[in-house]
Structure formats: structure tokens, C-alpha cells
Amino acid sequence: MAPPRAREAVVPSPARTEPGTGTEPGTGPSTGPSTGTGPSTGAGPAPPRRLPLPPLIAALCLALVASLVCGAGLGASGLSWGEVLRHLWAGLSGGVISPDEVAAYTIVWELRFPRALLAAVVGAGLSAVGVAIQAMVRNALADPFTLGISSGAAIGANAVLIFGALGALGVWALSAAAFASALCAMILVYAVARTAQGLTPLRLVLTGTAMYYGFSAISTLMVFMAERGEAARSAMMWLLGSLAGATWASVPIAAGAVLAALGYLAVSARRLNALAMGDETAAALGVDAGRLRKELFLLAAAVTGAVVAVSGAIGFVGLMVPHAARMLVGADHRRVMAVAPLAGAVLLIWVDIASRTILAPTELPVGVLTAVIGVPCFLLLMRRRGYSFGGGA
């Protein structure tokens, strides 16, 4: 068994960011106070080992491509890998297929591949938003569900699945209703959490958590009031997270929202480092913490609403993947934002593959499997001596 590594804090030490020294937040050796259970002594702990970033990103990119191919090839219908690759190439290149291959082509290109793509988009989006939210509220237990946005989206989705609301929108009704109700939940949480002093992390977390339980109660009541049958089952499946309804039409909107968010977060990585160290330190580094927090709140709401609208409520991805990324590459958000979306995409593709193959042809909710994986992983991570949850958790 390898010796335990030195303690690493999720939130970088303020002592690393002296203005004018040229040292970026989140980098360099730690000389500040310890975030563990005891006081720091001497020169402080040795910096933790970190994986080199370029090889790790290359490996994750290769894993993502391989996972997408496996997502198109694995399922209840047995297809050879030669057929899968041929149909994928035909779909990508606009090739011609023979009439007797139409059924296999439909399975690979129209059902499995868009589902694998959507799983990658949702996994990347939830992971990136998880990183942003944990920096925004400086809370290691924060994730896209903390702000109550996902449970707010569930109200709109249930209104469509159970009561047939927005029927005039056809196939877009579910996504539109979920996204609209997510935005309404965002506005309500923001209005309640905001004070004359601005939007503070503690009030935002407490308000979001309270609203989450309130919205969840309303969603559960809607399912309880539904007539027994397929509508109630579909609503429960959506509440537990499912990618069964993935189509090519559902990919572009979610992908556009996630890509825009990734671009913004990549550009704002240094500001996230400053925000994670506290408002006073951020101000000393020239970062307007209040304004950045509002921007992150709007981004989290928009992306969470977009991905929850097409996938349902999938938990633990936005909580676990950011911590795993920090264990691999450290607390600098420039490095974390390069790794977390790729890791989240690969993870959710394989969770979705498992959900439709373990008990095939019966499909398990994706959110159930992420919880089955996430709970023991989170407990093991919490007991790991070489890792600190945001400074002393």
C-alpha cells in the first residue's frame, strides 16, 4: 500500500497569491495555514503529486472516443463490431446502406449513437457546473442540485408527462417545460437569497437546499395524484434520470449550452481561483466577487436547466467528478476545468451503457446507478487522508 500523500486543500491557500508576485491563484507551493485537522508546522506539507496534464487530457480524449463507439455498439440487440463501425461511418460520411441493413443502421445511428453523445454532453455539463458551483459557494458538498434548479425543472416535466401540458409543442413540450420551470426556480431562489448586501454563499446554499426540498415535494405530489399507468411510470423514470428519450433533435440545444459554459469557465478559471479563496482575497486580486457570483449563478441555472430538460435528474456526477479531478491535477481551476468535463462525459456514457445492459431489455434509471457508484466513492474519498474537502470538512 502506497504511503498517504500530503494533505491537499480544495480551496487554495491565500498565502499563495501575493499581488504583484506573478504567481497565479491555485499554483505554487503552499505556505498558508493548514486546512486539515491540526495546525501547520514548519514550512508546511510537501505539495501533493499531480499527474501531468497533457498526457491525462490525451488519455481522456481517447477514452471519450472509445466510449462513444462502445455506446453505439453495446445494447440489448446483438450487433457485430464490424456492423457497428460500418454503420457509424455510413452515418458520419453520408454513405449508402443496403435495404436489409436498415434495421441495424437505425439501432446504431438513430438510437444508440445520439444517446451516447447526449450522455457525454450531460456528463460534461454537470461536471463543469459542479466545479463552478463549488467555487461560487465555497462548499465542497455543492453540486448542480444544491440550487434547487433540477427539482424545479422536474415540476415542468411532470406537468407534461402526467397532465399533458404544452401539448401544442409536440416533441419539444418536455424540454421546453422543464427548462422554463428551471428558470422560474432560478429566479425564485435568487430573489429569496439576495439581500441588500448582495448574494452571499451561505444564503444561496441554504435557500437552494430549502427550495430543493419544496420543489421535490411538489413533484412527488404530482406523481401521487397521477392516474396509475404509463404516465406515472414515465414521470418517475424522468425524476430518477434517464437518457431513453435521446434523439438527434435533443443533442444540439444541450450541446450548445454546455459548450458555451465550458468556454466561459475556461476563460474565467483564474477568477474562479480567486473566488474560491474568499471575497476579500478576490477583491485584493481585482476580482469583483459579487458580480462573478451572479454570472456563475446564471450560468449554472441555464446549463442545469438545459441538461436536466433532456436527461432528467441525474445526481452525484456534478458532486463527485470535480473532487476526482482535483485529486488528479490539483486545485487550480485552469487544470480542473480541462479534466472534469472529459471525465464526466466518459463516466456518464458508461453508466448509461450499464443502465441498458445490466437487466436488458429492462432499463434501469441512470440516476440510480450514479448514486450506487457515487455514494461508496464519496465515502472512500472522505476517508482518504491525502485529500481535504474544501478545507477541513
For 230-240, the pLDDT digits (tens) are 777 777 877 88
Low-confidence ranges of the chain (pLDDT < 50): 1-46, 389-393
Residue 345 pLDDT: 96
Residue 202 pLDDT: 82
Over residues 166-207, the pLDDT tens digits come to: 877 877 788 788 888 888 888 898 888 888 777 777 888 889
Residue 77 pLDDT: 79
Taking a C-beta distance cutoff of 8 angstroms, is the pair 365, 311 a contact?
no
Taking the C-alpha atoms of residue 147 and residue 212, their distance in angstroms, rounded to an integer, is: 7
Lookup: cell for 197: 448586501
Residue 63 pLDDT: 97
Residue 112 pLDDT: 93
Taking the C-alpha atoms of residue 88 and residue 105, their distance in angstroms, rounded to an integer, is: 8
* Nearest CA-CA partner of 6 in 338, 380, 330, 366: 330
* Nearest CA-CA partner of 67 in 359, 382, 377, 352: 352
Residue 353 pLDDT: 94
Residue ranges of domains in the chain:
50-383
Q: Where are the alpha helices (DSSP H) in 164-243?
A: 173-193, 201-225, 230-239
- The superfamily CATH assigns to domain 50-383 is ABC transporter involved in vitamin B12 uptake, BtuC (1.10.3470.10)
Residue 24 pLDDT: 43
- The secondary structure element, H or E, covering residue 348 is helix 333-357
Over residues 277-296, the pLDDT tens digits come to: 888 888 998 998 888 988 99
Lookup: cell for 157: 416535466
Which pTM was predicted?
0.81
- CA distances in angstroms from 388 to 5, 9, 327, listed in the order given: 11, 5, 10
